Structure 1
């Protein structure tokens, strides 16, 4: 698929995709959390140790990053036929880009979520997490085609000069 056949995915479709992802994550994590902690957690304790951190932070992060690396989208974005790709080449994200993008969610969230709302105002529909990871979210069709900065084919990139 050529870049002219793609469009950037805006704020509201991405909100919809996030809601789908949140519901799927809730459907998986709620029974798992219930199985681990029982019906009630210990009163007055917010943090239950490494297991709590692993279950509630690392597992969801690993799953989301794996979806980005291997499928170029989470299930919510797949429902929209959207993909997360490198902003310059249109290639799938690398693992390091995916980790940076995930960590960028926290940066986008800190100032009252402004980094997420940025998608609605940016020319390339990038949130701060996208800018940090050099990624864009695209899907087939649209009036305004995607223009990747690099015209090279990402499958056969030209040799690059070393950067110092």
Structure 2
């Protein structure tokens, strides 16, 4: 498996934020004249995204990584990172990476395995599937 280049990882992250934003924006426009409908649609969209993300976490992916055919795997074994590993990586790990001027993310550019701090925390790498 080949390591994913940093620009593709950035694109996957942008997709991870862009898709929910667009879906919630659309539901806001649909419910513009009716607050109840807007709130219900927004809630349904958030629940669907949350459930889909849980399913993807179990496969070592996020929405962006799934669409761009990438996967988070354990560095040594190349086995997809499990749900709890992804949960730690995507919450605590990414918080740590962004804590000090986002140095943990920038670290990808100087690390030989393109690992950010959140990857190092759970000993993972991001690989291309295609």
State the TM-score bracket (shorter-chain normalisation): 0.7 to 0.9
Question: Runs of at least 4 residues of structure 1 off by over 6 A?
Answer: 58-62
TM-score for both structures, normalised by structure 2: 0.73
Q: Tell me how far 1:75 sits from its aligned partner.
A: 2.7
Q: Which structure would you say has the larger Rg?
A: 1
CA offsets per residue over residues 26-76 of structure 1, 9 Å max, x none? Answer: 1233356786xx5xxxxxxxxxxxxxxxx8xx9677754542213x22232
Q: Which residue of 1 aligns with 2:82?
A: 94
Stretches of structure 1 that go unaligned for 5 or more consecutive residues are 1-5, 39-54, 142-164
Task: Please tell me whether the aligned partners of residues 93 and 135 of structure 1 are also in contact (alpha carbons under 8 angstroms).
Answer: yes
Higher relative contact order (CA 8 A, sep 6+): 1
Task: Please tell me whether the aligned partners of residues 84 and 138 of structure 1 are also in contact (alpha carbons under 8 angstroms).
Answer: yes
The separation in 2 between residues aligned to 1:64 and 1:123, in whole angstroms, is 29
Stretches of structure 2 that go unaligned for 5 or more consecutive residues are 36-42
Q: How many residues align?
A: 115
The separation in 2 between residues aligned to 1:24 and 1:32, in whole angstroms, is 12
TM-score for both structures, normalised by structure 1: 0.59
Give 1:135's match in structure 2, choosing from 120, 124, 127.
124
Q: Which residue of 1 aligns with 2:38?
A: none
Q: 1:122 to 1:62 in 2, by over 3 A?
A: farther
Give 1:7's match in structure 2, choosing from 2, 6, 15.
2
